[in-house]
C-alpha cells in the first residue's frame, strides 16, 4: 500500500490553547490510483501531507508510507516518494539541470547516474533544452513543471502534490494534468490536494472532501456526486419583474416564492439562486415564462457537492 | 503507539548531510572569487590600515610590531564574522526565504542533517576565507613559522563555534532585522573585548575576567601565538572551551529549529 493513515490526530499548541487540526482521519491509497484531497483553506490538507511525509509528529494515529512506519522510518520511506510542494522552492542559484542533479544528491543518487536522465526529465516537464536556463528566467508554469521533474529524480512509487496547479494558466494546467495521467498509467500512485473541483473530477480515481480535520465523504468523483447531490442544477440570476415588491426584484425574491415548489433544494449565493432537482423540466417550463430572469441548466458537479458539504461561507 | 521525534533528542545525523554541504559548496563555487575577495578585502584593509597607521604610534605590543600583533586577531575575528554572516543571513535565506530546507526535507534528509550541514558548511567557508587571509598575512611576512599552518584547523574550530551560535539566532529570527541585535549586542562588543586590537591586559579587572571567557578570546589566544611562531599556552583549555560551546550551541540551535519547523 503506498500510503495508509489510521486514526490520525494532530493538535497544535498545548493545554487550553491546543487546537485540533486533524480529528481522526483514515485514508488508504491503492497502488496506481490518483487520489485527490479536497477541502477549504484550513481544512487540514497540508497538515495531513506533512504528517504523511513524517515532517511533523502526529498527536495520535498510525501512518505507513511506502509500507514503512512514519515518523519512525520517515527518511527511508521518503526515499521512495516524490513531493511537489505548494510553495516554489527551486534553487535560484542553479540552472534547471543543476537543480535536478543537486536534488538527486539528497537521495544518494550519483551525478553519473542522474546526468544522463536530465534531458528525459526536462522533456517530461515540457522543458526540452532548458538544461542551462537560470531559474529566474522561467515563468511560474515552467517553475512548477521543473518542480514536478525534480520530484521524479528518484523514480518515486508515490508522488505527492500540494496544490500543483494553483496560479497556473490553463495551458500549463492541462500539460500538468496530461503528465500526471501519464504517470498513473505507468503505475505511479498520486496523492494531490487541490481547490479546483474540475481538476479532481478529471484526474482523481478517488477523492476525499476534508473539512475541520475530518473526512466528510470519500469515493470516486461519480459516486460522490451521485450520493450527495441532486443530479440537475438550474442557476437562476438577473432581474425579476414578477415581484409585488419593487424593492425585492432579484433571483432571491423569485426563489422565495417559487423555488420551494419547483426544486428539491435551493441555495442563494449573492445574486444567484442554485436550484437542485431530480427533474428540471417543470422548473424550466416555469422559467420560460420569466424572460427577465436568466438561467443556466447543467448537471450537478463536484463543486456543488463541495459547497453543500462545506458551506458557502468564506474561509481564511 | 506513535513513534515520536522528541524536540530535545540528541542530534541524529546521517551521511546525507554531505549532499546538503555540497549544495552550499556549489553555490559558493559559482561566486567564489567575489566571495573570497569580499571576505578578504575588509579584514586585510583593516589590518594594514590599523597595523601600519596606528602601529606608527604604538610601535611594539607584547614585544612584537603592532601589525604582527594585529595579524592573529584579524584572522580570528574575520573567521567569526564569516561564519556568523553565513549562518545568519545566508542560512536564514535558505531556511525561510528560499524554502531550500523545506525542499530538502522532502527528500530522505532529516532536519538534523540540514542544520549540521549548515554548521559544517559555514565553518568550511570561514576556513576557506581564513586560509586566504592567512596567505596574505604570510605574504607580508607576519606568519613566517610553519606553526602558522596549525592555525588552519583552529580557524575551522572557531568557524564551527560561531556557526553554532549563529544558528541559534537563525532559529529564533522573525526577519533579517533581528540579526542587528546580535551584531550590536554580542559580536561587536566581543570583537573589542577579546584582545583582537589591543591586549586584554588593558581592560579593567572585572571586565577582563568576563572578556577572557568570551569564545573569541579563546580563538585569539590560540591563533595569535601560532602566527608568531609560539606554541600557545593552555591549548587544552582554549580548544576545550571552543569545542564545548560548539556542541552546546549546536544542540540548542537544533532544538529551536525543530520547534520552529517540525511543529
Report the residue of chain B nearest A100, measured CA to CA: B23
- Respond yes or no on whether ipTM tops 0.85: yes
Q: What phi, psi does B15 have (nearest 5°)?
A: -70, -10
Chain B residue numbers touching A88 (CB-CB < 8 A) = 99
Q: What is the pLDDT of residues B232-259, one digit of tens each?
A: 999 999 999 999 999 999 999 999 999 9
- Contact of A85 with chain B, judged by CB distance below 8 Å, is answered with yes
Q: Residue B119 — very low, low, confident or very high, per pLDDT cuts 50/70/90? A: very high
Whether residues A85 and B30 touch (CB distance < 8 A) is answered with no
Mean pLDDT across B76-100: 97
CA distance A276 to A301: 11
Those residues whose C-beta lies under 8 Å from the C-beta of residue B1, and which sit 6 or more positions away, are none
CA distance B198 to A1: 68
- Contact of A86 with chain B, judged by CB distance below 8 Å, is answered with no
Q: What phi, psi does A2 have (nearest 5°)?
A: -65, -40
Chain A residue numbers touching B21 (CB-CB < 8 A) = none
Residues 108-127 of B with CB under 8 A from A: 108-110
Q: At what angle do helices A170-185 and A140-150 cross, to 10 degrees?
A: 10
Chain A residue numbers touching B93 (CB-CB < 8 A) = none
Whether residues A105 and B23 touch (CB distance < 8 A) is answered with yes
**What residue ranges in chain A does DSSP mark as E strands?**
3-12, 19-29, 34-38, 60-65, 68-70, 81-84, 158-162, 189-194, 206-211, 214-219, 232-238, 265-269, 272-277, 293-299
Whether residues B30 and A88 touch (CB distance < 8 A) is answered with no
Looking only at the bridges linking them, the beta strands covering A81-84 and A34-38 are unpaired
CA distance B151 to B153: 6
- Contact of B105 with chain A, judged by CB distance below 8 Å, is answered with yes
**What residue ranges in A90-142 does DSSP mark as E strands?**
none
CA distance B83 to B101: 19
Chain B interface test: which of A7, A47, A50, A57 (most B C-beta within 10 Å)? A57
Whether residues B99 and A57 touch (CB distance < 8 A) is answered with no
Percent of chain A with pLDDT over 90: 81
- Contact of A93 with chain B, judged by CB distance below 8 Å, is answered with yes
First to last CA, chain A: 34
CA A293 to chain centre: 34
Mean pLDDT across B155-163: 98
Whether residues A94 and B109 touch (CB distance < 8 A) is answered with no
| pLDDT recorded at residue B8 | 87
- Contact of B175 with chain A, judged by CB distance below 8 Å, is answered with no
| pLDDT recorded at residue B39 | 86
Whether residues A91 and B262 touch (CB distance < 8 A) is answered with no
Q: What is the pLDDT of residues A69-82, one digit of tens each?
A: 999 999 999 999 99
Q: Are A27 and A5 in contact (CB under 8 A)?
A: yes
Interface size, chain A vs chain B, as Cβ–Cβ contacts under 8 Å: 81
CA distance B22 to A258: 70
Q: Are A39 and A25 in contact (CB under 8 A)?
A: no
Q: What is the pLDDT of residues A3-12, one digit of tens each?
A: 999 999 999 9
* Predicted confidence (pLDDT) at residue A294 exceeds the cutoff of 60: yes
Q: What is the pLDDT of residues B192-237, one digit of tens each?
A: 999 999 999 999 999 999 999 999 999 999 999 999 999 999 999 9
| pLDDT recorded at residue A247 | 67
CA distance B54 to A303: 76
Chain B interface test: which of A14, A51, A74, A105 (most B C-beta within 10 Å)? A105
DSSP reduced 3-state for A95: strand
Mean pLDDT across A78-99: 96
Q: Are B93 and B1 in contact (CB under 8 A)?
A: no
- Starting at the edge strand found earlier in the chain, the sheet holding A68-70 runs A19-29, A3-12, A60-65, A68-70
Report the residue of chain B nearest A108, measured CA to CA: B16
CA distance A71 to chain B (A): 6
Residues 8-37 of A with CB under 8 A from B: 12
| Gyration radius from chain A CA atoms | 23
CA A183 to chain centre: 17
Q: Residue B2 — very low, low, confident or very high, per pLDDT cuts 50/70/90? A: very low
Whether residues B102 and A89 touch (CB distance < 8 A) is answered with yes
Does a cis peptide bond (omega within 30 degrees of 0) precede residue A71? yes
Bridge partners of residue A37, in order along the sequence? A193, A208
- Per-domain residue ranges of chain A: 3-226, 230-299
DSSP reduced 3-state for A32: coil
- Contact of B97 with chain A, judged by CB distance below 8 Å, is answered with no
Q: What is the pLDDT of residues B128-150, one digit of tens each?
A: 999 999 999 999 999 989 999 99
- Contact of A134 with chain B, judged by CB distance below 8 Å, is answered with no
CA distance A137 to A128: 15
| pLDDT recorded at residue B3 | 40
CA distance A276 to A256: 15
CA distance A109 to chain B (A): 10
* Predicted confidence (pLDDT) at residue B19 exceeds the cutoff of 90: yes
CA distance B52 to chain A (A): 40
Chain B interface test: which of A5, A52, A89, A111 (most B C-beta within 10 Å)? A89
CATH of domain A3-226: 3.40.50.300
CA distance A233 to A236: 10
Whether residues A85 and B20 touch (CB distance < 8 A) is answered with no
Whether residues A61 and B2 touch (CB distance < 8 A) is answered with yes
* Predicted confidence (pLDDT) at residue A132 exceeds the cutoff of 50: yes
Q: What is the DSSP letter of A190?
A: E
Concatenating the DSSP letter of every residue in B30-52 gives HTHHHHHHHHHHHHHHHHHHHHH
Residue whose C-alpha is closest to residue A5's, from A41, A35, A39: A35
CA distance A82 to chain B (A): 8
- Contact of A288 with chain B, judged by CB distance below 8 Å, is answered with no
CA distance A274 to chain B (A): 41
**Which residue in the set B106, B108, B262 is minimally distant from A85, CB to CB?**
B106
Greatest mean pLDDT range, A17-26, A99-108, B6-15, B33-42? A99-108
Those residues whose C-beta lies under 8 Å from the C-beta of residue A269, and which sit 6 or more positions away, are A307, A312
DSSP reduced 3-state for A162: strand
Report the residue of chain A nearest B101, measured CA to CA: A89
Q: Estimate the share of chain B in helix, then strand, then coil, as percent rounded to the nearest 5.
A: 80, 0, 20
Chain A residue numbers touching B23 (CB-CB < 8 A) = 91, 102, 105
Percent of chain B with pLDDT over 70: 98
- Contact of A75 with chain B, judged by CB distance below 8 Å, is answered with yes
Mean pLDDT across B13-39: 92
Containing A262, the helix (H) or strand (E) segment is helix A260-262
Q: Residue B153 — very low, low, confident or very high, per pLDDT cuts 50/70/90? A: very high
Chain A residue numbers touching B3 (CB-CB < 8 A) = 69, 71-72
Amino acid at each position: 500500500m503506498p500510503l495508509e493513515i489510521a486514526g490520525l490526530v494532530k493538535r497544535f499548541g498545548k493545554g487550553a490553547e491546543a487546537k485540533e487540526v486533524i480529528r481522526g482521519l483514515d485514508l488508504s491509497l491503492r497502488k496506481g490510483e490518483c487520489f485527490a484531497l479536497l477541502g477549504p483553506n484550513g481544512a487540514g490538507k497540508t497538515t495531513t501531507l506533512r504528517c504523511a511525509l513524517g515532517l511533523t509528529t502526529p498527536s495520535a494515529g498510525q501512518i505507513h508510507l511506502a509500507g514503512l512506519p512514519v515518523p519512525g522510518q520517515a527518511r527511508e520511506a521518503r526515499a521512495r516518494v516524490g513531493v511537489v510542494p505548494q510553495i516554489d522552492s527551486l534553487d535560484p542559484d542553479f540552472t534547471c539541470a543543476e537543480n535536478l542533479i543537486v536534488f538527486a544528491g539528497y537521495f544518494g543518487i550519483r551525478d553519473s547516474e542522474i546526468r544522463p536522465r536530465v534531458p528525459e526529465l526536462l522533456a517530461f516537464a515540457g522543458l526540452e533544452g532548458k538544461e542551462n536556463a537560470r531559474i529566474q528566467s522561467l515563468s511560474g508554469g515552467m517553475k512548477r513543471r521543473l518542480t514536478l521533474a525534480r520530484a521524479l529524480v528518484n523514480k518515486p512509487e508515490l508522488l505527492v502534490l500540494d496544490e500543483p496547479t494553483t496560479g497556473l494558466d490553463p495551458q500549463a494546467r492541462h500539460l500538468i494534468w496530461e503528465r500526471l495521467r501519464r504517470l498513473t498509467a505507468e503505475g505511479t500512485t498520486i496523492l494531490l490536494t487541490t481547490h479546483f473541483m474540475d481538476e479532481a473530477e478529471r484526474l482523481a480515481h478517488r477523492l476525499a472532501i476534508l473539512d475541520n480535520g475530518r473526512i466528510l465523504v470519500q469515493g470516486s468523483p461519480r459516486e460522490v456526486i451521485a450520493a450527495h447531490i441532486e443530479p440537475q442544477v438550474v442557476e437562476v440570476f438577473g432581474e425579476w419583474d414578477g415581484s409585488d415588491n419593487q424593492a425585492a426584484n432579484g433571483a432571491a425574491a423569485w426563489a422565495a416564492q417559487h423555488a420551494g415548489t419547483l426544486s428539491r433544494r435551493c441555495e442563494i449565493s449573492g445574486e444567484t439562486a442554485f436550484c437542485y432537482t431530480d427533474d428540471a423540466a417543470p422548473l424550466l417550463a416555469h422559467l420560460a415564462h420569466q424572460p427577465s430572469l436568466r438561467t443556466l441548466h447543467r448537471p450537478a458537479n463536484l463543486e456543488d457537492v463541495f459547497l453543500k458539504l462545506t458551506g458557502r461561507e468564506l474561509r481564511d | 503507539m506513535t513513534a515520536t521525534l522528541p524536540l530535545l533528542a540528541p542530534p541524529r545525523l546521517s551521511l546525507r548531510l554531505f549532499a546538503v554541504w555540497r549544495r552550499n559548496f556549489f553555490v559558493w563555487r559559482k561566486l567564489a572569487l567575489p566571495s573570497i575577495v569580499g571576505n578578504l578585502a575588509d579584514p586585510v584593509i583593516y589590518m594594514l590600515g590599523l597595523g601600519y597607521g596606528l602601529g606608527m604610534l604604538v610601535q611594539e605590543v607584547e614585544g612584537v610590531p603592532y601589525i604582527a600583533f594585529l595579524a592573529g586577531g584579524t584572522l580570528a575575528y574575520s573567521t567569526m564574522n564569516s561564519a556568523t554572516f553565513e549562518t545568519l543571513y545566508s542560512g536564514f535565506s535558505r531556511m525561510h526565504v528560499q524554502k531550500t530546507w523545506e525542499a530538502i526535507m522532502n527528500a530522505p534528509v532529516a532536519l538534523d542533517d540540514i542544520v549540521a550541514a549548515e554548521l559544517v558548511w559555514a565553518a568550511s567557508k570561514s576556513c576557506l576565507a581564513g586560509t586566504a587571509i592567512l596567505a596574505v598575512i604570510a605574504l607580508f611576512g607576519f606568519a613566517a613559522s610553519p606553526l602558522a599552518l596549525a592555525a588552519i584547523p583552529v580557524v575551522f574550530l572557531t568557524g564551527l563555534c560561531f556557526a553554532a551560535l549563529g544558528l541559534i539566532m537563525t532559529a529564533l529570527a522573525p526577519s533579517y532585522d533581528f540579526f542587528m541585535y546580535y551584531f550590536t549586542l554580542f559580536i561587536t562588543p566581543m570583537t573589542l573585548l577579546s584582545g583582537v586590537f589591543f591586549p586584554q591586559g588593558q581592560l579593567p579587572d572585572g571586565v577582563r575576567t568576563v572578556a577572557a571567557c568570551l569564545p573569541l578570546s579563546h580563538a585569539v589566544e590560540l591563533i595569535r601565538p601560532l602566527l608568531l611562531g609560539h606554541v600557545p599556552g593552555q591549548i587544552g583549555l582554549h580548544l576545550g572551551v571552543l569545542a564545548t560551546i560548539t556542541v552546546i550551541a549546536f544542540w540548542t540551535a537544533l532544538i529551536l529549529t525543530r520547534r520552529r519547523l517540525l511543529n
